[in-house]
Amino acid sequence: MATIAQAGNKGDGVRSDCFITMELTSSGGIVLDLKSKVKALYGDRMEALVRDILDFYQIKNARVQIEDTGALDFVIAARMEAVIKQLIDTDKEYLLPVLEQNKYATEKDRFRITRLYLPGNTPKLFLNAGIHKPNGVILDLEDSVAPDKKEEARYLVRNALRSVDFMGAERMVRINQGERGLKDLEFVVSHYVNMILIPKVETAEQVRAVEQKIESIKRDYDWDIWFMPIIESALGIENAFQIATASPKVAALAIGLEDLTADLGVQRTLEGWETFYQKTRLVNAAKAAGIQPIDSVFSDVQDMEGLKQFVKKSKSFGFEGMGVIHPRQIPVIYQAFAPTDEELEKAQRIVDAFNEAKAKGLGVVALGSKMIDPPVVKRAFNILKLKELAEMVK
């Protein structure tokens, strides 16, 4: 094992984080050097936390240097655990108490109109994410985390699941591919995660591997964890229905256009005709499987008009939500997905007709002289569920 280790972030633009350097020594006890602009206010508390963590891992002699930029306890604990586990071999986990308000499960068919990506090694973006009211937050361990930071990001994401109040948003984690992704699950499954995003899925077997790993971890943990496979290749598109039906835990099927267009050898455009077939194929597969089709992100965070047109087209294809890479995109997406007054009025008439037919014991629903099929009734109920969103937009 190494005798010196580092973890965390420092430099321009880094906030709510810390950078820790730790060296194991043979004597001299614990020597702690804390550099922080808030040392006068919180230095004693921070030092006490660090010493408690060292005592938990039975480390008696070490030099620890901390460069703090406003890190909260869960960040300091994650960074300390990351350096310690580079220095000693242990399976012990230092866990801060979980917030009571984080102990909520979610439903398979809940709204997932917006899901906000949060890079898994950047804690400053975690703290106020819930204020923007996304339907879900994605603590990302995959593309947004540098390869040499992926290990330490696991501790940070695990601690965030326990310690950050996301204000009712569905707590999602995007894991890595393959074996690394299965290892990621060991850090999040038992800590109140609601949904696992599985990247670059091409076969149903990839989904089942995740399911089997989760089941092996959560034997004594009664908690529903849903799956959202992300399809990002031509092969994945061709296998979309098998992926959508790979497990009862699959609640949504997402498309990732950046990697998909690269795999197809085409340029992504605002009009999107280059992936028209792929999008409609995925929506059809998801609808046939009875789950939610979720669109990709819109990468230009400055182009609000372009985003509005993108979302309108997405809704017309049958998508029920999309990814978000900046909070300013959230209200635009909600507005575009919200039902119009005409849609709400029509849906209410259909639901009223259904309830009237049900009360009379009739097996056929009619609106005037027109028969209403069950899928139309189901869609009407779904539109009325969006009424609250429509009011919020207004």
Q: Which residue type, as a one-letter code, is found at position 122?
A: T
Q: What is the mean pLDDT of residues 265-271?
A: 92
Nearest to 94 by CA among 163, 44, 172: 163
- pLDDT band of residue 369 (cuts 50, 70, 90) is low
Place of tokens 């092996």: 216
Q: Taking 70 as the threshold, does the pLDDT of residue 259 lie above it?
A: yes
| pTM listed for this prediction | 0.92
Percent residues over pLDDT 70 in the chain: 97
pLDDT for the residue 392 = 63
pLDDT at 360: 76
pLDDT band at 387 (very low <50, low <70, confident <90, very high): confident
Angstrom distance (rounded) from CA 37 to CA 330: 34
The per-residue pLDDT for range 127-146, each reduced to its tens digit, is 999 999 999 999 999 999 99
Q: Taking 90 as the threshold, does the pLDDT of residue 284 lie above it?
A: yes
Q: Rounded to whole angstroms, how far apart are CA atoms 61 and 56?
A: 13
pLDDT attached to residue 338: 87
Q: Which of 25-39, 57-71, 317-331, 361-375 has the lowest mean pLDDT?
A: 361-375
What span, in angstroms and rounded, lies between the C-alpha atoms of 368 and 60? 81
pLDDT higher than threshold 90 for residue 270: no
CA dist 338 and 7 (Å) reads 43
Q: Which two tokens stand for residue 348?
A: 């209410």
Bridge partners of 170?
136
Give the pLDDT mean for 200-227. Answer: 91
Work out the burial of residue 99: count CB atoms within 10 Å of its CB; fewer than 13 is exposed, 13-18 middle, 19 or more buried: middle
- Decide if pLDDT at 365 tops 90: no
pLDDT at 390: 61
Domains in the chain and their CATH numbers? 4-87 (3.30.230.10), 100-337 (3.20.20.60), 341-393 (no CATH)
Closest CA to 112 of 139, 136, 128: 136
In this predicted structure, what is the pLDDT of residue 218?
78
16: Cβ contacts below 8 Å, ≥ 6 apart: 69, 70, 71, 72, 75, 123, 124, 126, 127
**Residue type at 60?**
K
160 or 362, higher pLDDT: 160
pLDDT at 356 over 70: yes
With residue 65 as reference, give the H or E element that holds it: strand 62-68
pLDDT for 300 beyond 90: yes
pLDDT of residue 219: 66
Quickly state the pLDDT bin for 343 (edges 50, 70, 90).
confident
Instruction: Report how far residue 296's alpha carbon sits from residue 120's, in angstroms, rounded to the nearest whole number.
Output: 19
In whole angstroms, what is the distance from residue 394 CA to residue 390 CA?
A: 6
Please provide the size of the chain in residues: 394
Contact 191, 161 (CB under 8 A): yes
Q: What is the mean pLDDT of residues 257-275?
A: 94
Over residues 368-374, the mean pLDDT reads: 75
Residue 69: helix, strand or coil by DSSP?
Answer: coil
C-alpha–C-alpha distance, residues 351 and 339, integer Å = 15
Q: Which of 160, 222, 236, 163 is nearest to 173 (CA)?
A: 160
